[in-house]
């Protein structure tokens, strides 16, 4: 059952999506440029007592070094994700979904830029990863943006929130709005009962005289 405010009266959230995507993309590109310029000739840098390590790795696969050697496949997938998000943006009227899709779009564009522009060539470029956590594969800010967007998407979908701002849920129909008039009850069927017949006069009792005389007769 659909409930909630009509999508036609909700403002579009494309501006929010673009702002989030541009911010995520800019942070990813800037940090990668700094890392590539400063860290390749240095040993890994441990921060926060070893909780965070900075090291440069070149990844030919997907996020967290998954599927190494399948760069072209993941380039096509990332391109499809970008196109799908842009198509959804046409009916985007939900602020939480604008943030979610913005994170996904910015992260996808960040890694896609590496695949298009970095060595060894177009559509075969290796992604720059540089963040390492204990017991976790090395990743970058684009990967983190994609993961955060994916988690938010699952939470929003589980709550029934749609991209257009409506809420999809199962359950009994919503109660009538405040101030509304409840439906009038149907009038009860009229029944007619026959009028009771007037009571008949009680018969006058007469004494039985065996001698044939009447009680009011004069002797």
CB atoms within 10 A of CB 97: 24
Alpha-carbon distance 161 to 157, whole Å? 6
Active-site annotation holds for 129: yes
Report DSSP state, residue 39.
S
Q: How far apart are CA 24 and CA 146, in angstroms?
A: 10
Classify 52 in phi/psi space as left (phi over 0), alpha (psi -120 to 50) or beta.
beta
Q: Kindly name the residue from 129, 170, 201, 216 that is annotated as catalytic.
A: 129
Q: Is 143 exposed, middle or buried (0-12, 13-18, 19+ CB in 10 A)?
A: buried
Catalytic residue, candidates 6, 41, 114, 143: 143
Helix-helix angle 14-38:141-158, to 10 degrees? 150
For residue 143, indicate whether it is catalytic.
yes
Catalytic center residues: 129, 143
């Amino acid at each position: 059952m659909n409930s909630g405010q009509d999508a036609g009266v909700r403002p579009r959230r494309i501006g929010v999506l673009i702002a989030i995507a541009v911010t995520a993309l800019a942070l990813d590109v800037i940090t990668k440029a700094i890392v590539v310029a400063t860290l390749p000739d240095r040993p890994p840098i441990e921060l926060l007592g070893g909780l965070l390590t900075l090291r440069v790795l070149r990844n030919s696969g997907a996020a967290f070094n998954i599927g190494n050697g399948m760069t072209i496949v993941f380039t096509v997938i990332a391109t499809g994700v970008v196109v799908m998000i842009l198509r959804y943006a046409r009916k985007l009227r939900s602020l939480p979904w604008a943030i979610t899709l913005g994170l996904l779009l910015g992260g996808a564009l960040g890694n896609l830029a590496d695949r298009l522009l970095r060595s060894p060539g177009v559509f075969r470029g290796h992604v720059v990863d540089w963040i390492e956590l204990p017991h976790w594969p090395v990743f970058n800010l684009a990967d983190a943006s994609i993961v955060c967007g994916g988690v938010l998407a699952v939470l929003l979908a589980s709550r029934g929130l749609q991209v257009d701002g409506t809420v999809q849920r199962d359950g009994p129909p919503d109660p009538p709005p405040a101030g509304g008039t409840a439906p009038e009850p149907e009038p009860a069927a009229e029944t007619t009962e026959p009028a009771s017949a007037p009571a008949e006069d009680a018969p006058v009792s007469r004494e039985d005289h065996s001698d044939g005389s009447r009680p009011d007769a004069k002797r």
